[in-house]
């Protein structure tokens, strides 16, 4: 693996959807870099500090939210003379997003008074009153033809259906929720999943015409859902909850196909491979034995130079059963308890699902949905800050706020030392093509270029397995 030099950022580093550019916010400036060479392509000056950055789906335009000034600025990458400024005045702006056609910008006003659709072609605007949330509960179909917007009036939740071509209202129907948390179209655009606040476990599935097709509740009288996500194939709806269980609902009956629990101890009956991060002494004369950046469970990362040429290294060790997973007890007198499934995501092929149980913050669980079992468990020394799937291959990148990058594939796992002084990884993002990662420290970022998985490696991992 190769690492770039570090560059300054102030919070936002976003790849364009076509993977050609990397947009970086640096206080009042927006820097557009080439995604491969990292050379500056465009430089834009904003009227205030940048709060939000988002590329248009066609990668032609980019917007910056300047929410302290209730303003949005947008530019064209190919036409530097084209600019746009949206000022919503006293209504304020708390969030901004692109429409699927890349020719409209949707803004949400302060206190969720209204959602406004601004046209970049005709300069016309359409208002939707009382959106439920600022940055959530607005979803588009995959083909970009329709939008579902959650609103709230008279102490009741509603879902507004809009046709994106002319932004005319197609209808409104009530949602049977106490406090709607979010909604999402299925990947097949056939229905809409709606879920309630954590105070109640409730998942509802609606047709676009407002019929409630299914409803699901795993239990009552306890904290409910924490994370919900559709699988990319649309066959499963993953529901992570405060009871430390992930339930994968079938897309036909919306009943659990499998329930993945997160036990504190694993016995020898499990088929999973457990990788545990360890630190141990390393001597400089062993340099030819160990290499950095290669895939596989034996890869090691070196750090902490000492005068006698003895260093320490971190690596994954395959642990033997039984395994006890480090955990912490949530404080009963604190709000937002650190318990339950706080991190969950599907692989691009829907074969795997990773989760992090928040009262076991150092462990990442990787589930094989085809076999309905735990595939791997990765236990680290520090709490997991972020984890993300490669958008093309079944490969996970993990960071823990340390100078290391952790990788997992079905064939093994690796710890990679980042050869940059005083650089720790607190967040990461894949490029859309899966060829590189942007790694973020508090005030700096770098890029690492990741070798693509070979077809042989993927075939070996999938041998004798049934595909979804």
pLDDT tens-place string over residues 112-149:
999 999 999 988 899 999 999 999 999 999 999 999 99
Lowest-confidence pick of 41-55, 102-116, 369-383, 451-465: 451-465
Where do the H-state alpha helices sit in 348-395? none
pTM of the model: 0.91
DSSP one-letter code for 131: B
Q: 121 lies in a domain? A: yes
Q: 455 lies in a domain? A: no
According to DSSP, the β-strands at 203-206 and 212-216 are antiparallel
According to DSSP, the β-strands at 146-153 and 412-417 are unpaired
Q: 156 lies in a domain? A: yes
pLDDT greater than 50 at residue 296: no
Query: Is 109 within 8 Å of 92 (Cβ atoms)?
Result: yes
107 three-class SS: strand
Q: State residue 309's pLDDT score.
A: 56
Instruction: Give the residue-averaged pLDDT of 160-176.
Output: 96
69 three-class SS: helix
In tens, the pLDDT along 256-273 reads 999 999 999 998 777 899
**CA 377, CA 56: separation in Å to the nearest integer?**
37
Among 75, 71, 48, smallest CA distance to 63 is for 75
Sequence-distant (6+) residues with CB within 8 A of 154 are none
Among 166, 375, 342, smallest CA distance to 270 is for 375
* Phi-psi label, residue 243: left if phi above 0, alpha if psi -120 to 50, beta otherwise: alpha
Q: 112 lies in a domain? A: yes
Instruction: Give the residue-averaged pLDDT of 206-210.
Output: 96
In tens, the pLDDT along 53-109 reads 999 999 999 999 999 999 999 999 999 899 999 998 888 999 999 999 999 999 999
Specify the residue for token string 């102030």: 10
Q: Given pLDDT bands bounded at 50, 70 and 90, which one contains residue 280?
A: confident
Q: State residue 335's pLDDT score.
A: 79
DSSP one-letter code for 187: T
Query: Is 402 within 8 Å of 391 (Cβ atoms)?
Result: no
Q: State residue 456's pLDDT score.
A: 39
According to DSSP, the β-strands at 104-108 and 323-324 are unpaired
Query: E-assigned strands of 35-113?
Result: 40-45, 52-55, 61-66, 71-76, 83-87, 95-98, 104-108
**CA 449, CA 468: separation in Å to the nearest integer?**
30
H-run or E-run covering 312: strand 310-318
In tens, the pLDDT along 410-434 reads 999 999 999 999 999 999 999 999 9
Instruction: Give the residue-averaged pLDDT of 192-215.
Output: 97
Residues of the domain holding 118: 89-174
**CA 129, CA 116: separation in Å to the nearest integer?**
9
**CA 270, CA 318: separation in Å to the nearest integer?**
14
Q: Looking at the 3D structure of the chain, how many domains does it have? A: 1
Q: 464 lies in a domain? A: no
Q: 399 lies in a domain? A: no
Among 176, 180, 90, 98, smallest CA distance to 132 is for 180
Query: E-assigned strands of 360-402?
Result: 363-368, 373-379, 386-389, 396-399
Q: Given pLDDT bands bounded at 50, 70 and 90, which one contains residue 283?
A: low
What does the angle CA 37 – CA 43 – CA 46 come to, to the nearest 5 degrees? 145
Where do the H-state alpha helices sit in 275-330? none
Q: State residue 128's pLDDT score.
A: 96
**CA 76, CA 56: separation in Å to the nearest integer?**
10
Q: State residue 452's pLDDT score.
A: 76
Q: Given pLDDT bands bounded at 50, 70 and 90, which one contains residue 190?
A: very high
Neighbours of 247 (CB within 10 A): 23
Average pLDDT in the chain:
90
- The residues facing 214 across adjacent strands are 205
**CA 133, CA 117: separation in Å to the nearest integer?**
16
Among 231, 196, 235, smallest CA distance to 217 is for 196
Residue 23 burial by CB count (10 A; 0-12/13-18/19+): exposed, middle or buried? buried
**CA 59, CA 23: separation in Å to the nearest integer?**
11
Q: 118 lies in a domain? A: yes
According to DSSP, the β-strands at 352-357 and 412-417 are unpaired
Sequence-distant (6+) residues with CB within 8 A of 124 are none
DSSP one-letter code for 457: H
In tens, the pLDDT along 301-330 reads 554 444 455 577 899 999 999 999 999 988
Q: State residue 29's pLDDT score.
A: 97
302 three-class SS: strand
Query: Is 22 within 8 Å of 16 (Cβ atoms)?
Result: yes
Neighbours of 405 (CB within 10 A): 24
The phi, psi pair for 457, rounded to 5°, reads -65, -40
The rounded percent of the chain whose pLDDT value lies above 90 is 82
**Cis check: omega of the bond before 463, within 30 degrees of 0:** no
pLDDT greater than 50 at residue 286: no
Q: 10 lies in a domain? A: no
Helix, strand and coil in the chain, % to nearest 5? 5, 50, 50
């Amino acid at each position: 693996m190769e690492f770039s030099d570090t560059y300054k950022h102030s919070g936002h580093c976003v790849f364009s959807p076509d993977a050609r550019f990397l947009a970086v916010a640096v206080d009042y400036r927006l820097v557009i870099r080439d995604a491969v060479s990292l050379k500056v392509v465009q430089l834009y000056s904003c009227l205030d500090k940048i709060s939000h950055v988002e590329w248009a789906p066609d990668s032609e335009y980019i917007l910056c939210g300047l929410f302290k000034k209730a303003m949005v600025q947008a530019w064209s990458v190919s036409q530097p003379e084209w600019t746009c400024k949206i000022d919503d005045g006293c209504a304020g702006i708390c969030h901004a997003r692109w429409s699927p056609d890349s020719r409209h910008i949707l803004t949400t006003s302060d206190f969720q008074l209204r959602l406004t659709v601004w046209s970049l072609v005709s300069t016309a605007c359409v208002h939707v009153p009382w959106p439920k949330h600022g940055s959530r509960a607005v979803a588009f179909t995959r083909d970009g033809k329709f939008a579902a917007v959650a609103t709230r009036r008279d102490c009741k939740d509603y879902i507004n259906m809009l046709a994106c071509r002319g932004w005319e209202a197609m209808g409104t129907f009530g949602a049977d929720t106490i406090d709607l948390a979010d909604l999402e179209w299925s990947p097949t655009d056939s229905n809409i999943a709606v879920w309630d606040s954590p105070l109640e476990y409730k998942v509802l599935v609606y047709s676009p015409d407002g019929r409630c097709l299914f409803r699901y509740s795993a239990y009552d009288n306890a904290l409910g859902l924490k994370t919900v996500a559709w699988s990319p194939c649309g066959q499963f709806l993953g529901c992570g909850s405060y009871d430390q269980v992930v339930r994968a609902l079938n897309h036909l009956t919306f009943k659990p196909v499998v329930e993945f629990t997160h036990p504190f101890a694993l016995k020898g009956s499990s088929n999973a491979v457990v990788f545990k991060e360890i630190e141990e002494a390393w001597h400089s004369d062993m340099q030819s034995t160990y290499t950095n950046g290669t895939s596989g469970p034996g890869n090691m990362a070196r750090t902490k130079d000492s005068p006698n040429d003895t260093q320490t290294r971190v690596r994954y060790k395959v642990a033997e059963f039984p395994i006890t997973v480090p955990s912490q007890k949530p404080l009963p007198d604190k709000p937002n308890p650190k318990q339950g499934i706080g991190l969950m995501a599907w692989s691009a092929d829907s074969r795997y699902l990773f989760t992090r149980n928040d009262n076991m913050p150092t462990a990442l669980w990787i589930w094989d949905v085809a076999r309905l079992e735990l595939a791997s468990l990765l236990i680290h020394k520090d709490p997991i800050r972020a984890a993300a799937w490669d958008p093309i291959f079944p490969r996970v990148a993990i960071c823990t706020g340390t100078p290391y990058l952790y990788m997992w594939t079905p064939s093994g796992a690796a710890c990679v030392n980042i050869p940059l002084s005083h650089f720790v990884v607190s967040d990461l993002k894949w490029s859309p093509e899966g060829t590189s990662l942007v790694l973020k420290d508090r005030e700096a970022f770098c890029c690492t270029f990741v070798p693509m998985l070979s077809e042989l490696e993927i075939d070996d991992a999938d041998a004798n397995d049934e595909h979804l």
